[in-house]
Amino acid sequence: MKMLTIHNLHARVADKDILRGINLTVNAGEVHAIMGPNGSGKSTLAGVLTGKDAYQVTQGEVLFEGKNLLDMDPEERAGEGVFLAFQHPIEIPGVATNYFLRAALNAVRKYRGQPELDAAAFLKIVNAKMKVLHMPEDLLKRSVNEGFSGGEKKRNEIFQMAVLEPKLCIMDETDSGLDIDALRNVAEGVNALRSKERAMVVITHHQRLLTHLVPDFVHVLSEGRIVKTGGKELALELEAHGYDPIKAGMAPV
């Protein structure tokens, strides 16, 4: 079943064109990896899909389960089931993680027509998910991401994803800054979320995460376009030879 359809998407930041005609279809149950060099537009794509207002869409459309995603506010997209694990998670001093997570979970539940959870029911869900991701016990009492190491922040993103149970999980450079153990924990957490109803888009530089989280498709993004699509072996090829051969073979703009 088609979950996400991106058609001829163009977007710019300030006056600079970043995305220049993205076409991509993601079906439920699939894992897509989007790879590409710095500046190719990977994070812009993630930002446009989640509604970051710094980006201006100039052409094209994005449908999520048939609905026009670009017309929705960021919180509506979250309610529909789109989740972005941030490349640089934001610190929010003064807001305890449990307070934040419960507000978020109840907001999306409300959006989805589900009853809100009381503190006890919430804690039960959260404690179970914390174990899977080996989150530190005091996490819930700490302010959101404040004083977390890079690895902790990334794990916290996946933890939030596990709690909010989105349909479409977009992970932006989730593997960067993770040591081997943290990477394995994150991959375990993400793999636990894989299901026939859920799709994943993994934006990454390296194929490190992809050895743990095997994609169905690998797309190469270059200068705002998907220039090559293949299976999981494409990631290994990129790891061995870099992006230059692909860029060299790409059609002139």
Partner 1 sequence: MDKTTFTKLFADFDRDASPRYRALRQAARERFASLPLPTTRAEDWRFTSIAPLLEMPFDLPTELRKSVRIADEVLGGGHEKLPLAVSGSMRLTFVNGRLARSLSVAAKPDIYAHTLDLLKVDVPELGQIAAEKENVFTALNTSLLSDGAVIVVPDGKVVEYPIEIVYLSRPGDKSCVGSPRSLVRIGKNAQALVIERFLGERTYFTNAVTEIAVGAGAVLNHVKIQDESATAYHIANTQIVMAARSNFTTHYLSLGGALVRNEVRVRFDGEHAEATVNGLYLASGKQHIDNFTVIDHAQPNCASHELYKGILDDKAHGVFNGKILVRKDAQKTDAKQTNKVLLLSDDATINTKPQLEIFADDVKCTHGATIGQLDAAQLFYLQSRGIPLDAARRLLTFAFANDIVNRVRIEAIREELEARIVR
Residues within the interface to partner 1 (CB under 8 A): 50-53, 73-75, 77-79, 83-84, 86, 89-90, 92-95, 99-100, 103-105, 107-108, 111, 143, 160, 164
Min CB(193)–partner 1 separation in Å: 16
Nearest to 160 by CA among 94, 103, 80: 103
* Closest CB to partner 1 among residues 112, 184: 112
State the amino acid at position 55 in one-letter form.
Answer: Y
- Looking at beta carbons only, is 79 or 189 nearer to partner 1? 79
- How far apart are the C-alpha atoms of 124 and 137, rounded to whole Å? 14
- In angstroms, the CA 190 to CA 91 distance is 22
CB of 232 to partner 1, least distance (A): 29
- Closer to partner 1 at the Cβ: 40 or 156? 156
User: Distances in Å between the alpha carbon of 230 and those of 198, 204, 210, 234?
Assistant: 21, 15, 14, 6
Minimum CB separation from partner 1 for residue 234, in Å?
Answer: 29
Which CB, 86 or 217, lies closer to partner 1?
Answer: 86
Whole-Å CA distances, 203 to 36, 54, 72, 87, 142: 9, 19, 22, 9, 28
| C-alpha torsion 134→139→158→93, nearest 10 | -160
Q: How far is the CB of 55 from partner 1 (least distance, A)?
A: 11
Residue 191 carries which side chain, given as an amino acid letter?
Answer: N
Record the tokens describing residue 88, joined without a space: 């640089």
Q: Which is nearer to partner 1, 117 or 214 (CB)?
A: 117
Contact indicator for 172, 203 with CB cutoff of 8 Å: yes
Q: Which is nearer to partner 1, 157 or 175 (CB)?
A: 157
**In this structure, what token pair is assigned to residue 146?**
């404040």
Least distance in angstroms from the C-beta of 176 to partner 1:
18
Q: Tell me how far, at minimum, the Cβ of 22 lies from partner 1, in Å.
A: 20
Distance separating alpha carbons of residues 162 and 153, to the nearest angstrom? 14
Min dist. Cβ of residue 105 to partner 1 (A): 8
CB–CB of 28/48 below 8 Å? no
Between 117 and 250, CB nearer to partner 1 = 117
